[in-house]
Amino acid sequence: MVPKTTNGPGGFHLLAKPSGSTCNINCTYCFYLSKESLYPDEKHRMSDATLEAYLKQLLESHRMPQVTVAWQGGEPTLMKLDFFRRSVELVEKHRRPGQTVQHTFQTNGLLLDDQWCDFFKQHGFLVGLSVDGPREIHDAYRLDRRGQGTFDRVMAGWKCLRDHQVDFNILCTVNAANQRQGRAVYRFFRDELGAKWVQFIPVIERATQQTLEVANRGWSQQPGRQRLLYTQTGDLVTERTVGGEQYGRFLVDVFEEWVRHDVGEVFVQLFDVTLEAYFGRHLLCIHAPTCGLGPALEYNGDVYSCDHFVEPRYKLGNIHETHLLDLVMAPEQRKFGQDKRDKLTAQCRSCEVQALCNGGCPKDRFALSRDGEPGQNYLCAGLELFFKHTRPAMQQMGRLLQQRRPPSEVMEWVAVEDQRLGPYRLCPCGSGRKFRFCHGDNAPRNTRDPPNADSAKRQQARMSPAQPQPDAVASGRNASDSPD
């Protein structure tokens, strides 16, 4: 099959779901579990023919030399290792000279063992591991099919990744259970897991008056229970959903820790893409002016507009009938992406952080604006808070970059400001506590990280220039852009 499109984009970021929505655990907030009902009576496993058609078309579609092959689910480890060995083989078979391929893989970590981790290491996979925080937070919603917490098994998977020195990032959802624990969650990833790349994703589960009660019970199939197919409809949210403003407070809480200690050492996706946005570069679809280059591929070759819009009215077609590039460039998909800009509310169009935020993801635009206009982002209060709060430090990092100096020097600038303003002012994070006892020196720290014991490490961090993230972490829709 040859694509009809001759003027496609340089590339795009597709999320492939080789086992569809099938998962070996039962996270309460995972609405993707409900997508099983799109394909009733079928075994959700990608065939070899679909795998080869997909990889061949993906590689053919890219004009830029870097291509990301991103696996997600459901839980992709359910496909077994031989499937991914074959995928690497097929990439080598169809890769054009000069094309480089980054493999990414989002997993809940339960099935990871030495064989998996050897394979990831050997082929340079970037693995996204889903963890929501320390045990009591993680186990609030990330449950197995018996309703038991999965923390210990995820930690076994993490140890395996660490022991095999596999590059990994942590994907953490921000939800009702951890929304007030930003700093504790972040410190856990940094201090206990040694994470260098962290990504936060807000949990937003929409519902209507009719579906709310069922939605609150979760999205998995359970005997005798009504089953809903999750769609992006309704202006109510489940009880697991993060608060709109609280999402911003969570991010600010993390930022205040990061900007004092970790710039250039730990990469938080939203912080990186925000800094890039100050230079007019939009690396994440959610805060880009337009989108539409992040389609999702189901196990049978069906392609949808986006991972968040796997529902019948957003199905673009099937790669066995239409080339992937033609599906991505289809008029309805171009419109899907342009609507992100064309349907901004008046409040967004006049917002002082519009150039950074761009109204956020269309899936979250189900609230009313201040003027009562429909289509405002549910997270608006939090997004506005985050972008305004981080502006002085971001601008300082931008100036440092323009002077060809490492952005990590911002930590010295923040330290001088802290000294000037004194320890007993209200903490800038907005907690209402005194700075000294909140993000200052006397803040309660991780038990393995007593007060001030880490100053040598932090000083070292100040000397390290910020490193670019791997493409798959920094670019748009990626291996870990939605809960697996």
Q: How many residues does the chain have?
A: 484
Distance CA 261, CA 440 (A): 11
CB atoms near residue 147 (< 10 Å): 8
Nearer of residues 128 and 359 to ligand SF4, judged by Cβ: 359
Nearer of residues 12 and 299 to ligand SF4, judged by Cβ: 12
Work out how close the CB of 206 gets to ligand SF4 at its nearest, in angstroms, rounded to a whole number.
13
Nearer of residues 252 and 306 to ligand SF4, judged by Cβ: 306
Residues that bind ligand SF4 (CB under 6 A): 285-286, 291, 294, 306, 308, 340, 347-348, 351, 353-354, 357, 359-363, 377, 380, 383-384, 477
Distance CA 30, CA 441 (A): 38
> Which pairs count as long-range contacts for 274-283, CB under 8 Å and 24+ apart, including other chains?
274/356, 274/387, 274/390, 274/394, 275/394, 275/397, 275/398, 275/401, 275/407, 276/474, 277/355, 277/356, 278/356, 278/394, 278/395, 278/398, 279/398, 279/401, 282/358, 283/474, 283/475, 283/476
Residue labelled with tokens 């038990």:
447
Distance CA 235, CA 376 (A): 11
Work out how close the CB of 375 gets to ligand SF4 at its nearest, in angstroms, rounded to a whole number.
10
Work out how close the CB of 372 gets to ligand SF4 at its nearest, in angstroms, rounded to a whole number.
14
The SS3 assignment for 382 reads helix
Which position among 307, 364, 418, 481 bears the catalytic label? Answer: 307
Work out how close the CB of 477 gets to ligand SF4 at its nearest, in angstroms, rounded to a whole number.
6
Nearer of residues 290 and 446 to ligand SF4, judged by Cβ: 290
Distance CA 13, CA 27 (A): 25
**Residue 274 contacts by C-beta under 8 Å, 6 or more apart in sequence?**
287, 356, 387, 390, 394
Nearer of residues 154 and 251 to ligand SF4, judged by Cβ: 251
Nearer of residues 193 and 348 to ligand SF4, judged by Cβ: 348
CB atoms near residue 37 (< 10 Å): 13
Distance CA 217, CA 225 (A): 10
- Write b or e for each residue in 403-439: b if 16 or more Cβ atoms lie within 10 A of its Cβ, otherwise e: eeebbbbbbebbeeebeeeeeeeebbbebeeebbebb
Nearer of residues 295 and 428 to ligand SF4, judged by Cβ: 295
Nearer of residues 15 and 33 to ligand SF4, judged by Cβ: 15
β-pair partners for 169: 128
Tokens of 174: 């921000």
Return the closest-CA partner of residue 174 out of 204, 194, 139, 153: 204
Give the DSSP letter string of 122-176.
Answer: HTT-EEEEE--SSHHHHHHH-B-TTS-B-HHHHHHHHHHHHHTT-EEEEEEEE-T
Work out how close the CB of 255 gets to ligand SF4 at its nearest, in angstroms, rounded to a whole number.
16
Work out how close the CB of 290 gets to ligand SF4 at its nearest, in angstroms, rounded to a whole number.
8
* 481 tagged catalytic: no
Work out how close the CB of 294 gets to ligand SF4 at its nearest, in angstroms, rounded to a whole number.
4
Work out how close the CB of 295 gets to ligand SF4 at its nearest, in angstroms, rounded to a whole number.
8
Active site residues: 307
